[in-house]
Structure 1
Amino acid sequence: MPIAATGELITEAAARRGAVAAFNVITLEHAEAIVEGAEAARAPVILQISENAVKYHGGRLRPLARAAHETARAAAVPVALHLDHVHSPELLHQAAECGFSSAMFDAARLPYAENLAATRAAAVWAHGEGLRLEAELGQVGGKNGEPPLDAHAPGARTDPGEALAFVTATGVDALAVAVGTSHAMTSRDARIDHGLLARLRDTVPVPLVLHGSSGASDEELARAVAGGIAKVNIGTALNIAMTGAIRERLARDERGVDPRPYLTQGRDAMARTVTRLMGVLSSAAVKPV
């Protein structure tokens, strides 16, 4: 199947008042598990590679991107490729040649004026290459000398008026917002500010993205999708599933040295997690919570 475009998947999800799931790829096993899980759910999906994952692979984007591309191309459901949380313009500029249809440029830690200028430049470049650009806006600094908070810092919240001004000035195609979730949460007790999400949905003219979604319960995720989130980013939940399955396998086979049995178990656990979470998002699209 041809590689899908991120924008098309988000547009289709929004038309049914739903959200498309975007899962982080760190290894080939992640990509295989995500596609397998999406096929079981019979739903489109986004494979996303972050700058941190690229650093893990020695700073080389192309090998992992090529693996994700070939895995996506062999899938029985639509799969798009997204380059996530890019801080480096140099890495961003590799996106088009490596097969991505979208990228998320992350300048949220910069002072607001610098964030805006850098993001606007990234959007101009991306649009010139036919890519969609996602950005994020957490909490603008400046009050009492406080620094800006990115969209995942504990306590950060995105102001609707500031978000509208930011999107208008930068020309980005999607916006990740701070509504109560944080990256790398291993518990699922994040409380989403659904009132704020409603105001953002009614104010911001581009699709909204939820990062740090592994920290939210199924009920919170479903309600967020029904409330206007169009793209849901998930990473840590897969790593929890993979690591737990590998630990269980190694505990039963202390003398084993072949990585294939435990990697298979880890991959299978991730695939089941993908299918389950995609079911949560799908049910929210059909019936608002």
Structure 2
Amino acid sequence: MALVSSKEILMKAQQEGYAVGAFNAENMEMVQAIVAAAEELSSPVIIQTTPGSLQYADTDMFFGMVNAEAKKAKVPVALHLDHGNSAELCAKAILSGYTSIMIDGSKLAFSENVALTKKVVEFAHAMGVPVEGELGTVGGKEDTHEVKDSEKSYTDPEEAKEFAEQTGVDFLAVGIGNAHGFYKGVPKLRFDILEKTKSLVSIPIVLHGASGIPDEDVKKSTGLGICKVNFATELRDAFTKGVKEYIEKNPEVFDPKKYNGAGREKVKELIKHKMHVLNSVHKA
């Protein structure tokens, strides 16, 4: 199957009351793991790359890997730019073949965020590509994207409504106490903000920083209108643990296929668990 639009995947999720996992890939093995898990569980899936990952291998390289796996798959697979940090990078991802993009202007003043997001929406929509925006800053660090504690802010539901209307974004990432990276304690999500935002905004809502959020809170979020849930840190951790465990048991190994394959299997099992949490199994 050819790569599909994230909007197509998320509108179905919104209508049927489940969420789709958006999993960040760092290499070929993680791409393979994500698609293999989706195939085994008949789940739609979104594969993402961050600007930091795109400094390691560019948009053409990631498109080539994801497209190759998607062509073999029977389930819907989308390729998304996560935390696009400039209009230029968004345009580059679109030209490479990404089927959705995110422009993250959440650290800007509201009016500046609107202006930047609207600019990206205009040229992306002209190319038939949906756009994710963000309002309210999600804390923590992911690759080169970092929001300090002093910069964190909750999404204002009334502003979210205004932002969606003024920019024309297709889905919206919100700040409800979530953060990138592993949490130092148990995160306390503001479900009241999520409920209010959902009542005012009709487009699919996105939860970033889900690595480390308890499964029951992720499930509750999807029940309150979250349609896309992002996972990155946990996947990197799983892949690294798989590699380390294999090398510790086989210290003489020198074939990357052996230990990278072990990392791939760890990632696949983690993703299958997350798909059950999101209730996206058999929704392809």
Structure 2 matches for 1:44-83, cutoff 5 A? Answer: 44-57=44-57, 60-83=58-81
Structure 2 matches for 1:268-279, cutoff 5 A? Answer: 268-279=265-276
Amino acid of the structure 2 residue aligned with 1:52? G
**Match status 1:163 vs 2:160:** yes
Counterpart of 1:123 (choices 97, 121, 125) is: 121
Instruction: Determine the C-alpha separation between the residues in 1 that align with 2:238 and 2:19.
Output: 22
State the aligned residue count.
Answer: 274
CA displacement, residues 27-58 of structure 1 (integer Å, 9 cap, x when unaligned): 1111100001111221110111221210122x
1:179 matched to which residue of 2? Answer: 176
Give the drift of 1:191: 2.2
Q: TM-score, normalised by structure 1?
A: 0.89
Structure 1 window deviating more from structure 2 (218-227 vs 81-90): it is 81-90
Amino acid of the structure 2 residue aligned with 1:209? V
Contact 1:106 1:136 in 2 (8 A): yes
CA RMSD of aligned residues (A): 2.1
Amino acid of the structure 2 residue aligned with 1:273? L
Instruction: Determine the C-alpha separation between the residues in 2 that align with 1:263 and 1:177.
Output: 34
1:205 matched to which residue of 2? Answer: 202
Q: TM-score, normalised by structure 2?
A: 0.91
Instruction: Determine the C-alpha separation between the residues in 2 that align with 1:283 and 1:232.
Output: 11
Instruction: Determine the C-alpha separation between the residues in 2 that align with 1:103 and 1:283.
Output: 22
Contact 2:44 2:75 in 1 (8 A): yes
Give the drift of 1:186: 5.7
1:252 matched to which residue of 2? Answer: 249
CA displacement, residues 218-243 of structure 1 (integer Å, 9 cap, x when unaligned): 11111100111011111111111111
Q: What secondary structure sits across from 2:172 in the alignment?
A: strand
Instruction: Determine the C-alpha separation between the residues in 2 that align with 1:195 and 1:151.
Output: 25
Q: Which runs of 5+ in 2 are unaligned?
A: 138-144
Contact 1:179 1:194 in 2 (8 A): yes
Structure 2 matches for 1:1-289, cutoff 5 A? Answer: 1-57=1-57, 60-138=58-136, 154=149, 155-185=152-182, 189-282=186-279
CA displacement, residues 108-139 of structure 1 (integer Å, 9 cap, x when unaligned): 12222222111110111111111111000115
Contact 2:20 2:280 in 1 (8 A): no
| Stretches (4+) displaced over 3 A | 150-155, 283-286
Instruction: Determine the C-alpha separation between the residues in 2 that align with 1:284 and 1:181.
Output: 24
Q: What secondary structure sits across from 2:192 in the alignment?
A: helix
1:144 matched to which residue of 2? Answer: none
Percent identity for Structure 1 against Structure 2: 35
Contact 2:3 2:99 in 1 (8 A): no
Q: What secondary structure sits across from 2:279 in the alignment?
A: helix
CA displacement, residues 237-266 of structure 1 (integer Å, 9 cap, x when unaligned): 111111111111111122211111110110
Give the drift of 1:283: 7.3
